[in-house]
Structure 1
Amino acid sequence: MKHFYIIFVMSLFFVFFCISIFNQSTKISDSYKLPNFKTENITDLFPKNIDEINNLTKLALEEAQNSLKFIYDIKDQEYNFKNIMLLFDRTTANFSYKFSTLYVLTMVHPDQEMREAAQKSVMELQKFSIDQFSQNQKLYQILKNYNESRVASSEKIADFEEYFIKETLDSYKKAGLEKDDQTRELIKSITQELGVLALDFDKNINSDNRFIKVSKEELKGVDDEFVESLKKDQDFYILGVDYPTVFKIFEECEIESTRKALWYEFNLRGYPANKEVLNKIIVLRDRLAKFLGFDSYAHMDIADQMAKTPTNVINFLNDISDKCKLKVSQEIEALKKDLPISIDLVENKFKPWDFKFVVNYYNKKYMMLDENLISQYFPTDYTLKALLDIYEQFFGLKFERSNVQNLWSEDVQVLKVYKDNKFIGTLLLDLWPRDNKYPHACQVGIVSSVRDKNYDIISPAVVLVIANFTKPQKDKPALLRRKEVTTFFHECGHAIHSLLGSTELANQSGTSVKGDFVEMPSQMLEEWMTDKEVLKSISKHYITGEKLPDNIIESIQKNQNALIASHLLGQVAYSLISLNLFDKGESKNIDLIWREAHDLLSEVTYGCSDYGYCSFGHLTNYGSKYYGYLWSKIYAKDLFNKIKEHGLFNREIGELYAQKILAKGGSQDPNELLKDFLSRETSSEAFFKDCGL
């Protein structure tokens, strides 16, 4: 009884706290305030129960409505950047972090009722955002009128402020705010429906916990420690479709029937529900593009990106594909020369569930790269700390572990982040697989970092890195596979961008950049994984304490591009899928588009019942812009080569990179940022040369 009384009192306190905020927020000064979460009170950011979810939702709506009213009530003659554009920036930022907080719960919370309540709130806030922000004609007209009066009055503003105005007004025009009333209502309706469908698509992937059951004999080739770490149902072992399990089985299990069965389940994630959802998304996105005056959704989606048009993207992808063809043939022939005994080809092609097994066999035998052996040098606790040490040295950061309790899982690690002895934000790490958790790896910028004119942080960043790494086994600590270490470098690249990309406007902070540029900082940091000094610094054998041996490092460096053309062609295939699904026309044969792109990988047979597009999560949040990974890789290689000339632990070049690229966030055109850092135009030469193409 006492326990329930305490909960009741706490919930009352939360309600009273929220009510007091609602009353105070009638003052315009409160609408300019941004969140200021310290690491010690970071748990206050995340609701602990359904009542708190509902209260946070109500708070987000009421604060946004109050702030919008202030904007509406400003007289024309009183217009200036602060009371129009800055207030607009702060209003959307305060709404956005509450939305992001709730969205995170849908991705990671272990309790189904909490996920469902958060999902309901996210849908409510999403609808409000479309109605009151992105499709709000009254708000757009005020922003437009302000810009006209600003030009007429010659109000002096900074370049980043002018860029913000231009980008904001352009986005409103692109969203159809110049259209007639009837068309705008249709656009709003479609946008609302697309938002719901995108949430459904993601939920169907996250909640798909399919598995197969196999005997001990059907796991031949897989090490005993991994086998014993699996859940069991009587005498059978349960293989889920989480990434650590899937890759382990694909690469090491000698029993083809096991690999095949798991391959089918892995490629059925989200099916059949997401096939129907994706068809609806394709139809609605095409209609939306037509209403907005574009030939296709792909044209609309890419119009404001670095690439500008789908034609430019196609030419870019064709160039990579053409350069890869000869090397792909050479790579495949090398694999075919000596196949494992259990492998047979079909019409001289690999079966899809065999390909990773063959590659792993080839790597071990001919490249001296045994990934199981190498993982013994990457115990998670040591390697992650060593990676953070590199960021400390290169960027001048300091990470301090904080013993914060009462987050959604005891797995979550919490780090305070400092720069020049000043607190700049909180980094959360949720790295282990759980049922119903987001199944891939990503970074979520929950609270944007904002600074004042004196470069003092007024709103510290809150950043979450989600991954699904190999868990500890019975007699072993968690050991990271080399691919997982690279993934951590990648996602922390986004996190560093969020932490160091502190700008005066929240909407320009961190990763708020062009969609085909956002992957550049993360992919640039991936390149660190090929450097000998870096590999030495982040490795330590979990038993002996020895560093990664020189002969293994030499093999890694010598063979880093051994199968690069096959990898790049795979990325081209996924890029074409995302383009072609959203090309002109409502009616698309999704299975045919998926298969035609797969045919680029002509040395691997197509598996019937391959519905991998149902778990291709990038289709909702990246749309037709999956090509951005390859597009930004060009820049990443170019910048990495310049940095390497100075040294990968060189603080001076790290500070320069942070200052000229990361710290700018989205406050400037990325082409200008790149040219400023490189002191020249960007070039693809480094990319193709490093790839051996």
Structure 2
Amino acid sequence: MPLAPLTLPATDAAWLAFLDQRLTAALTRAQDVVTDLKDGASRSALDALQAWNSGDIGLGEAGGMASLFAEVHPDPDVRERCERASQEVSKFLTARALDRPLYDVLSALDPAGLDGDARRLLERTLRDFRRSGVDQDEATRERITAIQERLTVLGQEFGRHIRDDVRTIRVTADRLDGLPADYIAAHPADADGLVTITTDYPDLIPFTTFATDAAARRELHTAFLNRGWPANDAILHEILDLRHEFAGLLGYADWPDFDAEVKMIGRGAAIGEFIDRIAALAEAPGKRDIGILLARAQQDDPTKTALTAADSGFYAERVRREQYDVDAQEVRRYFAFPKVRAGLLDVTAWLFGITYVEQPEVPVWHEEVTAYDVHRDGAIIGRIYLDLHPREGKYKHAAQFSITSGVDGEVLPEGALVCNFPTGLMEHSDVVTLFHEFGHLVHHILGGQQRWVRFSGVATEWDFVEAPSQMLEEWAWDGAVLASFATDEDGQPIPADLVAKMVRAHEFGKGQKARTQMFYAAVSYGLHKERPADHTAFVADLQGRYDLLARLPDTHFQAAFGHLDGYGSGYYTYMWSLVIAKDLFGAFDPADLFAPDAAGRYRDQVLAPGGSADAADLVAEFLGRPYSCDAFGEWLSS
């Protein structure tokens, strides 16, 4: 019998009971596995691993649903229940990881006779136990338990403060000068004659890109950078201190050393070395870029001596329009959201040899969510949900969330793409973001046909995770690809010469953007490495060292930097992955990105294996050699 996807509740009133049942059953299943494995019965290594796999399937479902619906469900009671569920799952995982009798059972298993995947699972599982502190004394294990449980709560609070802290500015209608007509129409003045602009992305990005009022741009971006402040300051101090303490209890010098051990980069110190290496590569291109932007800004204000984040988007748009003949308002005419969504599905279906079948009758958590079953060779291989527009109480960024991780013959992989795009015309940068995030989702589905749930989907090293998504962005810059779905209101496709100009304009600023990315990476690494008493002063110093944009005064970037929870000290991974993505893309024919040969090999050799092999080995198999940074260096300096 073919596998079937989950059936979500059909009515709002049924959600709490549904989640209670699923979450309780998953945790019970996982606890029963632990109890059974410790019952003293004789088991083969394979039997023990199959039982372990069963427990992890349930935990993955519980953790996935709790994580997703805590961020997207419109009912605050459901969100609160899912936050508690995440704490319950985390508490169980911590207790299991510190269960010495359980570890003794698994470590005593004889791996002889196991195939490569099963042996890899056993090795990774035992490594996880050791990295959790299972071999420490009882007092240390108790302290680790308390730390892990507290970190779960703190992470939720940190994210909630960012999610819920939607700030606004109120401006007179004349201060909307330069903005697109549809944006102005969507933001009418209130009874006081004032227009409210929020820090949510659909408001923020067009405003800071097009509004000619520099003071208004500055006011909005300042509000954006102060989300979560001051509430998140004390929380971040506690997170950093607890992570450092945890690493020290396990014998590591600091959190970056602990964090890097299981990533491609390998060592904590190598993070700082990588940041400085990329910053050096980007220095000359970045200064060239910032010089062009500043010269353009000085045409408007001859006294201007530096640019901030409130200026960069606006003047980058001016340069693209005036020097590259690319007008973002002209470009966006071709990117109506419904066409972009349909085009994304068509392009990736062709590229990866899959089919999306919309399921309009499937229950979802909000009326704007769409569901699709994914088929390959006539059989269903997973389900995806697209939740792509902003609303109150919803996650503010863009990310893929797993709901279930696929296990061959047992569970279909399911995931959700959560974004905050306008329902009308989109900026092309939004289109690129959509392709990027969808890359994670398709990786989750295509890599979700594994025997062991541990290796299902996006289960590679964390500093490789972004590479497939960054590579998929290239399809959002290709003229033939865009012409297949990007049409204006008269149905005319986006002209090839306009796309060529867009690409040339896009290449402008990559040095400056790389330096800004290294500032973000240095914040992520440096805060965990140094744990300064004054986060704001420390971050300001890092911005002066790495970013070519000046700091906006009286802002607290770190309080709204949500990646400090999920990525920890590892935000460098975006650039590390980009180095690999540029190398991977070299295997495709840029003259025909619809060619199926390279895409099929990439699907089968890089995406489909999930985490069943090291990322470096997957890449080497696809490229026929180890990856290198040559392609990235050439791209950055060109």
Task: Give the shorter-chain TM-score range.
Answer: over 0.9
Task: Please tell me whether residue 79 in structure 1 is matched to residue 43 in structure 2.
Answer: yes
The one-letter amino acid of 1:134's match is A
Task: Please tell me whether residue 54 in structure 1 is matched to residue 20 in structure 2.
Answer: yes
Gap change, CA 1:644 and 1:191, over 3 Å in 2:
same
* Contact 2:337/2:422 (8 A) holds in 1: no
Bigger Cα displacement from structure 2, 482-491 vs 587-596: 587-596
Instruction: Give 1:554 shift.
Output: 1.7
Instruction: Give 1:362 shift.
Output: 1.3
Question: Which one of the candidate residues 288, 291, 295 is aligned to 1:337?
Answer: 295
**Corresponding position of 2:630:** 685
* Contact 1:561/1:692 (8 A) holds in 2: no
Listed one character per residue, the Cα deviations across residues 586-621 of structure 1 (whole Å, up to 9, x for unaligned) are 554311231122114554322222112111111111
* Contact 2:467/2:578 (8 A) holds in 1: yes
Q: What SS does structure 2 have at the residue aligned with 1:432?
A: coil
Structure-1-length-normalised TM-score: 0.88
**Corresponding position of 2:529:** 583
Q: What SS does structure 2 have at the residue aligned with 1:667?
A: coil
Listed one character per residue, the Cα deviations across residues 447-476 of structure 1 (whole Å, up to 9, x for unaligned) are 11121xxxxx431111100000123xxxxx
Question: Which one of the candidate residues 39, 58, 79 is aligned to 1:115?
Answer: 79
Structure-2-length-normalised TM-score: 0.95
Gap change, CA 1:332 and 1:503, over 3 Å in 2:
same
**Corresponding position of 1:261:** 219
Q: What SS does structure 1 have at the residue aligned with 2:297?
A: coil
The one-letter amino acid of 1:518's match is V
* Contact 2:401/2:415 (8 A) holds in 1: yes
Task: Please tell me whether residue 656 in structure 1 is matched to residue 619 in structure 2.
Answer: no
Report the Cα distance in structure 2 between the residues aligned to 1:38 and 1:175, rounded to whole angstroms.
Answer: 33
* Contact 1:415/1:428 (8 A) holds in 2: yes
Report the Cα distance in structure 1 between the residues aligned to 2:590 and 2:330, rounded to whole angstroms.
Answer: 31
Task: Please tell me whether residue 211 in structure 1 is matched to residue 168 in structure 2.
Answer: yes
**Corresponding position of 1:5:** none
The one-letter amino acid of 2:94's match is I
Report the Cα distance in structure 1 between the residues aligned to 2:637 and 2:547, rounded to whole angstroms.
Answer: 21
**Corresponding position of 2:498:** 552
Q: What SS does structure 2 have at the residue aligned with 1:465?
A: strand
**Corresponding position of 2:284:** 326
Instruction: Give 1:398 shift.
Output: 0.3
**Corresponding position of 1:561:** 507
Gap change, CA 1:653 and 1:47, over 3 Å in 2:
farther
Listed one character per residue, the Cα deviations across residues 397-427 of structure 1 (whole Å, up to 9, x for unaligned) are 0011110354221110111110111101111
* Contact 1:306/1:516 (8 A) holds in 2: yes
Gap change, CA 1:296 and 1:531, over 3 Å in 2:
same
Report the Cα distance in structure 2 between the residues aligned to 1:59 and 1:183, rounded to whole angstroms.
Answer: 31
The one-letter amino acid of 2:152's match is G
Listed one character per residue, the Cα deviations across residues 124-160 of structure 1 (whole Å, up to 9, x for unaligned) are 23222222x22222222211111xxx14xx3x11111
Task: Please tell me whether residue 135 in structure 1 is matched to residue 82 in structure 2.
Answer: no
**Corresponding position of 1:187:** 144
Report the Cα distance in structure 2 between the residues aligned to 1:121 and 1:136, rounded to whole angstroms.
Answer: 21
**Corresponding position of 2:486:** 539
Report the Cα distance in structure 1 between the residues aligned to 2:142 and 2:477, rounded to whole angstroms.
Answer: 52
Q: What SS does structure 2 have at the residue aligned with 1:644?
A: coil
Unaligned runs of 5+ in 2: none
Listed one character per residue, the Cα deviations across residues 350-386 of structure 1 (whole Å, up to 9, x for unaligned) are 2442222111111111111211211111111112212
Listed one character per residue, the Cα deviations across residues 330-357 of structure 1 (whole Å, up to 9, x for unaligned) are 11222233337644554x1124422221
Task: Please tell me whether residue 286 in structure 1 is matched to residue 234 in structure 2.
Answer: no
Unaligned runs of 5+ in 1: 1-32, 452-456, 472-477
Listed one character per residue, the Cα deviations across residues 262-295 of structure 1 (whole Å, up to 9, x for unaligned) are 1121111111111111010011111111111011
Task: Please tell me whether residue 389 in structure 1 is matched to residue 338 in structure 2.
Answer: no
* Contact 1:449/1:510 (8 A) holds in 2: yes
Task: Please tell me whether residue 499 in structure 1 is matched to residue 438 in structure 2.
Answer: no
Gap change, CA 1:331 and 1:424, over 3 Å in 2:
same
* Contact 2:381/2:412 (8 A) holds in 1: yes
Instruction: Give 1:232 shift.
Output: 5.1
Instruction: Give 1:48 shift.
Output: 3.6
* Contact 1:513/1:666 (8 A) holds in 2: yes
**Corresponding position of 1:17:** none
Bigger Cα displacement from structure 2, 602-611 vs 380-389: 602-611
Report the Cα distance in structure 2 between the residues aligned to 1:102 and 1:46, rounded to whole angstroms.
Answer: 17
Report the Cα distance in structure 2 between the residues aligned to 1:443 and 1:206, rounded to whole angstroms.
Answer: 16
Q: How does 1:229-378 map to 2 (within 5 A)?
A: 229-230=186-187, 233-234=190-191, 235-339=193-297, 342-343=300-301, 345-346=303-304, 348-378=305-335
* Contact 1:416/1:427 (8 A) holds in 2: yes
Bigger Cα displacement from structure 2, 483-492 vs 311-320: 311-320
% same residue? 26
**Corresponding position of 2:372:** 415
Q: How does 1:12-31 map to 2 (within 5 A)?
A: none
* Contact 1:299/1:310 (8 A) holds in 2: yes
Listed one character per residue, the Cα deviations across residues 427-464 of structure 1 (whole Å, up to 9, x for unaligned) are 1000001112100000011111121xxxxx43111110
Instruction: Give 1:46 shift.
Output: 9.8
* Contact 1:110/1:436 (8 A) holds in 2: yes
Report the Cα distance in structure 2 between the residues aligned to 1:43 and 1:375, rounded to whole angstroms.
Answer: 37
Gap change, CA 1:362 and 1:644, over 3 Å in 2:
same
Gap change, CA 1:102 and 1:404, over 3 Å in 2:
farther
Question: Which one of the candidate residues 456, 465, 468 is aligned to 1:518?
Answer: 465
**Corresponding position of 2:564:** 619
* Contact 1:521/1:636 (8 A) holds in 2: yes
Report the Cα distance in structure 2 between the residues aligned to 1:691 and 1:536, rounded to whole angstroms.
Answer: 27
* Contact 2:167/2:199 (8 A) holds in 1: yes
* Contact 1:345/1:351 (8 A) holds in 2: no
Bigger Cα displacement from structure 2, 86-95 vs 500-509: 86-95
Listed one character per residue, the Cα deviations across residues 275-324 of structure 1 (whole Å, up to 9, x for unaligned) are 11101001111111111101110110001111011222222222211121
Task: Please tell me whether residue 458 in structure 1 is matched to residue 410 in structure 2.
Answer: yes
Report the Cα distance in structure 1 between the residues aligned to 2:275 and 2:464, rounded to whole angstroms.
Answer: 16
Q: What SS does structure 1 have at the residue aligned with 2:86?
A: helix
* Contact 2:240/2:528 (8 A) holds in 1: yes
Question: Which one of the candidate residues 331, 336, 349 is aligned to 1:379?
Answer: 336
* Contact 2:30/2:54 (8 A) holds in 1: no
Bigger Cα displacement from structure 2, 200-209 vs 328-337: 328-337
Gap change, CA 1:468 and 1:252, over 3 Å in 2:
same
Q: What SS does structure 1 have at the residue aligned with 2:484?
A: helix
* Contact 1:530/1:560 (8 A) holds in 2: no
